[in-house]
Amino acid sequence: MNKLDQPLVLILAGGVGSRLNNLVHTRAKPAVPFGGIYRIIDFSLSNVMNSGMTQVGVLTQYKPLSLMRHLGTGEAWDLAGRTRGIKILPPRTGSQDSDWYKGTADAVRQNIDFIKAHPAKETIILSGDHIYRMDFADMRGFHRRKKADITIGMMVVPKEDIHQFGAGITNKDSRIIEWEEKPKVPRTNLASMGIYIFDTEYLLNLLEEDRKEVDFGMHLIPKAIERDDVFAYPFHDYWRDVGTIQSYWQANMDLLDEDSGIAPETWGIRPNTDSSNTGVADYPPARFVAGSKCQKSMISAGCVIEGEVYNSVLAPGVRVKKGAIVRDSILFHNVVVGEKSQIDLAVIDKRCHIGNESIVGHGDDKDTLNVDFPSHLYNGITLISKDCRIPADYTIGRNCIISLRATEDHFPAKKLNSGETVYVE
């Protein structure tokens, strides 16, 4: 692909991602660790790289610092060089919150100068918080063959899930003739993946028409469908929006299932191994002590396994001490699981220390909702935030939340019942 034929890629990475609860209290959603050695945004960036595209703008907003450190110069994804580049695009923030991005279209509108400074026939707009592999060059070929103004990546999802997405009704030529944004009573199971290709001139004109229209799915896409040529590009492979604790946990568990369809290494997904936020470069190989057990798990560099690990994903530097058992869980960097402790169905953020002989994820009451966040934790997963210290000989139930930097003194006596939350003032 020659330089003059390069599309411009914009990655939307500014959303709050509030349903991920404490996982996004100190980081942007696309910067959440995934699969031991990756960040969520690594998938979008690697797809761009593997599609041969070299000019990228990343639109940031909410807690962007860890994301910015992770992206660096873009060298990890071959986006650094004389004819290549990755540019961080924060909001043009003034003195009021109203200056921040108000929606997906408003975010792009605030960066029209960046689009004009990188002239391209097409502009590709992606979300930075999905797990998938796609050849954008193939999608762009489809866009050109259809002579489309807009092409939207779409896939079939279960009808009971369609309320989470924009939904399109198409004709036999794949042209979208009707649009429903997060319908409560769906008429189709064809969902938008949040991946768009626009003819750039068309995009600029659409953004300038009415500055009160701030969102693609809610405003601009329905308008375009009524009068212009909008097509659905069919996608049939693995794709997951990891916007909830449950879907995030499931996507990590899919890594352990060879039939799930997800295969980051085979896909050519690259982490930034030189980044202190993900890095594996400074860790020694994982070590399995005599007598330890490990089944159907992903164990990263620097881990030391003295106990037992089953069906779990462990990031670099995790230590599971003698007699401890970890099951169906995701442990981030440098977590320490104390001797004879049990971890079952938990997501534990960086640098947490689980005291000896403690239990995280106790009991059969997995349907007991979290009292304060019933829509976040409802399937038995317990969430422990960064830098927490769980007391020794302590029991934590199901669907519990432990807030950032909780120490032994923050916990109620004896145990934490299912559905309860520990707060740190």
The residue segments making up the domain with residue 198 are 3-254
80, 125: one domain: yes
Structural domain contains residue 263: no
Rounded-to-integer distance, Cα 21 and Cα 145, Å? 42
CATH number at residue 391: 2.160.10.10
Are 398 and 418 in contact, with CB atoms under 8 Å apart? yes
DSSP 336: E
- Are residues 62 and 206 part of one domain? yes
Arithmetic mean of pLDDT, 228-255:
95
Evaluate if residue 277 carries a pLDDT over 50: no
Give a yes or no: residue 260 inside a domain.
Answer: no
How many domains is the chain built from?
2
Two tokens at 192?
């938008």
Residue 23 to residue 349: CA distance in whole angstroms:
7
Q: Which residues contact 285 (CB under 8 A, 6 or more apart)?
A: 301, 302
Average pLDDT, the chain: 92
Same domain (yes/no): 211, 101 = yes
Confidence at residue 213, expressed as pLDDT on a 0 to 100 scale: 80
Span 90-114, mean pLDDT? 76
Residue identified by tokens 């995280």 is 360
Q: Helix count (H) and strand count (E) of the chain? A: 9, 33
Residue 66 has pLDDT above 70, yes or no: yes
Span 288-316, average pLDDT: 97
Share of the chain above pLDDT 90, in %: 76
Name residues whose C-beta falls within 8 Å of residue 123's C-beta, 6 or more positions apart in sequence.
Answer: 7, 8, 9, 10, 115, 197, 198, 200, 203
CATH at 221:
3.90.550.10
